[in-house]
Structure 1
Amino acid sequence: MVVKLLHEKGLKTEHAYTATFASIGLSVITWYGSLKGEPAGTARADRWGIFVGEWAPAFFALGLALANYERDHAPTTPPPTERTPARE
């Protein structure tokens, strides 16, 4: 299972969600950069923005899958035991 492997390698839910928001920002940056930097104009800039923008749902889905995995496979800890004060 891919999600299990990614979790074992250290990827957490927060990492995937951070990548989601970063890809949204990167989408805007690539669109604007392509719009200003390439002679091809708006059509190519739109394609670059859409291409990078499609990463966000994939990262979000990965974050959800990791969240479910972490919830279902969380290590169980025994309930804390009550300690009685020591007698002097």
Structure 2
Amino acid sequence: MVVGLLHRVGLRSDHFHLASLVTITLCVGLWVRAKTVDQAQRGNAERRALFVGLWPPTMWLIGDSLKDYE
């Protein structure tokens, strides 16, 4: 149902696979940046990086679902 809607909107599996790779890069960038902030803000910055780190598998699996649908 959701996969069909995404397909009708024009999104393809390659879009989500690319988004997965971009979010991995974003996660690493946020994690590196967390090491440069002061100690008071470091915990929040590391949690943000971990939160973004949860996105790549989700994006990849949505891409796989769309690939099966195509």
- TM-score (normalised: structure 1): 0.70
User: Which position in structure 2 is the counterpart of 1:13?
Assistant: 13
Task: State the structure with bigger RCO (CA 8 A, min sep 6), 1 or 2.
Answer: 2
Q: Where in structure 2 are the equivalents of 1:60-79 lying within 5 Å?
A: 60-70=60-70
**Deviating runs (4+, > 6 A) in structure 1?**
none
Uncovered stretches (5+) of structure 2, i.e. residues with no partner: none
Q: Indicate the structure with greater helix content.
A: 2
Give the CA RMSD over aligned residues. Answer: 1.4
Distance in 2, Cα, partners of 1:48 & 1:35: 12
Q: TM-score, normalised by structure 2?
A: 0.87
Work out the number of aligned pairs and report it: 69
Percent sequence identity over matched residues?
36
Q: Is the 8 A contact 1:3 1:69 kept in 2?
A: yes
